[in-house]
Structure 1
Amino acid sequence: MGHEHNHNTETIGDKRLIAAIGVNATLTLAQIVGGILSGSLSLIADALHNLSDAASLVIALIARKIGRRPPDAFKTFGYRRSETIAALINLVTLIIVGLYLIYEAMGRLFAPQPIEGWTVVVVAGIALIVDIATAILTYTMSKDSMNIKAAFLHNVSDALASVGVVIAGTLILLYGWYWTDTVLTLMIAGYVLWQGFSLLPKTIHLLMEGAPEGISIADVVSIMERTNGVESVHHVHIWEIAEHTTALEAHVVIKKVSLPDIERVKTELKRALYEQFKVIHSTLEIELDGSVCIDARQINSNRNNGKSPT
């Protein structure tokens, strides 16, 4: 029943993403046409931002489908990290778009062009409605997914940008302040770059198998060493296989050597790791107190020096 519920939830999520892609793609086309007809660079800038949103949603949808594939002999941990790779692609693309907008805006400073204010206001008003609708479609899913959260934030920023474009178009109609279009373009580009660079470190950290946010190795070792029968813990590695999927490996030194004691210690450690740090996958190597810890690097070093690994 739980699996069926999860499948239905994922299906609903996919349908929401497809709907969001459709409205964003349509909006992008309308904004580009409106920007060309009106001569508004800020409207084209907002269109490019919307296009990056639509592309990010497409990538997120594909990544979600790939990520559901079960582990196999080729990918023993499964395919869930595909969503993190998709997030990296989306963020890099977003940064490129932001830099391009700055380039175009600087060109307009030296070669101003006439702008049709009413076209800007009408198209940007439609864009605002679509952006709000898309944000509503992706809000629920954004709570548990880095990809969808990025897409949701993109739509929120698009909505804010659309508000700004309406304001710029109004100022052009009322006062003929054409420079507001260029200034707004620079503001949109700045926001896009800030958004991209703020999310990029977290994505790279996950791909580099860094420790999950909020988890300290010292705290993990401290909790593990409180377990009855554990003398010490070393060679600790903790990382995220995928978003919300934490893994750990460690060497655990114990005193007692009976099989029941070893199994008890392992069970208690795995329970503590899950309850305290939500570690789903843990690999624990049990060592006896006083024994010499041997790992692959030491064996390789000894082999290169002509020594026996024992």
Structure 2
Amino acid sequence: MPHDHGSGHTHIDPASGDRRVAIAIWANGILTVAQIVGGIFAGSLALIADAIHNFSDMAALVIAFGARKISRRPADDKMTFGYQRIEIVAALINYTTLIVIGLYLVYEGVMRMVDPPEVLGWWVVILGGVALVVDTLTAMLTYSMQKGSVNIRALFLHNLSDALSSVAVIIGGTLILLYDMRWIDPAITIGIAVYILYLAFTEIGGTIRLLMLASPPQIDNEALIAAVLGVQGVQDMHRVHFWQVDEQRISVDAHIVVARDHWDRLEAIKSDIKAMLASEFGIRHSTLEFEHPDHPHPGAAIYGHD
């Protein structure tokens, strides 16, 4: 299964990307303070829920900003693979935060459904409108950056869910003004929370896969092994590992048993395998250990160390 790493990725220079994230941090920080104050004054849990979500966005942005900076450090004697995976850790933290916030908002919403408080609808509508503008701006700032980064994609989903939450808050404030439907405020809060949980649980699996060094889902393992076995001189293949340092770079490690009558062609066979991996599967990093058919690892499985 061929895979083109470059397709669909919009590359933005690091300095420009950092500026976008910094702007988003300040915008969400100011908005969070305004929403919390307004939510307390207006008695709106939905507005406070949106503020808490915005605060989580600001925290997520700070984490992502730091992770972007750290990920650019070159490999050293302590981190021989480099620091790129810090962005995956940041994404996991942000998705986990989304889940915790979502569960908390469900609890608070249910408690308020029992005894809906008085809510000042105009405050809810006005601050919800301001939040929508900021959330939309932040989502636009991170949209073009999220296609090639699990870290920024976590941010984008935070921002997108915030924008949709703000729309829901505005609708809720309007219904309170028109029909005094006080129960709508906690109901919208629960709806926001369910949507947050849906986004978080949908995306966190891919992040965990990366951290667990799972086989990249876009690679057909069996097809790749068959392709390697089809290279002239290759007799067998075992102890195969597919993994990723980050979302863009797929790596493979494997033991290759070379046919006896091709043993003097090791360099040519290695070049053929690496060229095939790059052209057919988009894999440009491979570590290959060659074995003589008279001395292979006994009982070695296709995958794993045993």
The one of 159, 180, 187 aligned to 2:184? 180
Alignment of 1:31 with 2:35, yes or no, is: yes
Kindly indicate whether residue 237 of structure 2 is the aligned counterpart of residue 233 of structure 1. Answer: yes
Match for residue 81 of structure 1 among 55, 80, 85: 85
Residue 205 (structure 1) aligned to one of 206, 209, 215: 209
CA contact (8 A) 1:257 1:288 kept: no
- Contact 1:217–1:236 under 8 Å retained in 2: no
Identity among equivalent pairs (%): 48
Q: Structure 1 stretches of 5 or more lacking a match?
A: 1-6, 298-310
Counterpart secondary structure, 1:154: helix
Query: Distance between the aligned counterparts of 2:37 and 2:300, measured in 1?
Result: 61
| 1:1-310 map, 5 Å | 9-256=13-260, 261-293=265-297
- Deviation for aligned residue 1:280: 3.0
The alpha-carbon deviation at position 213 of structure 1 amounts to: 1.4
Q: How many residues align?
A: 292
Q: Which has the higher contact order (CA 8 A, sep 6+)?
A: 2
Q: Distance in 1 between matches of 2:60 and 2:117?
A: 31
Residues of 2 paired with 1:160 and 1:242: CA distance?
30
- State which drifts further: 106-115 or 92-101: 106-115
What's the offset of the Cα at 1:229?
A: 1.6
Contact 1:67 1:79 in 2 (8 A): yes
Q: Is the 8 A contact 1:81 1:241 kept in 2?
A: yes
Deviation at 1:158, TM superposition (A): 1.1
> Structure 1 residues 98-107 or 169-178, which shifts more?
98-107
Separation in 2, partners of 1:110, 1:242: 47
Bigger mean CA deviation after superposition, 77-86 or 228-237 = 228-237
Q: Quote the Cα distance in structure 2 between the aligned partners of 1:253 and 1:40.
A: 68
Whole-angstrom CA distance in 2 between matches of 1:273 and 1:142: 27
Q: What SS is found at the alignment partner of 1:125?
A: helix
The superposition leaves residues 114-160 of structure 1 with CA deviations (integer Å, 9 ceiling, x where unpaired) of 00000000000011111111111111101111111121122111111
CA contact (8 A) 2:72 2:84 kept: yes
Shift of 1:257: 6.5
Deviation at 1:289, TM superposition (A): 2.6
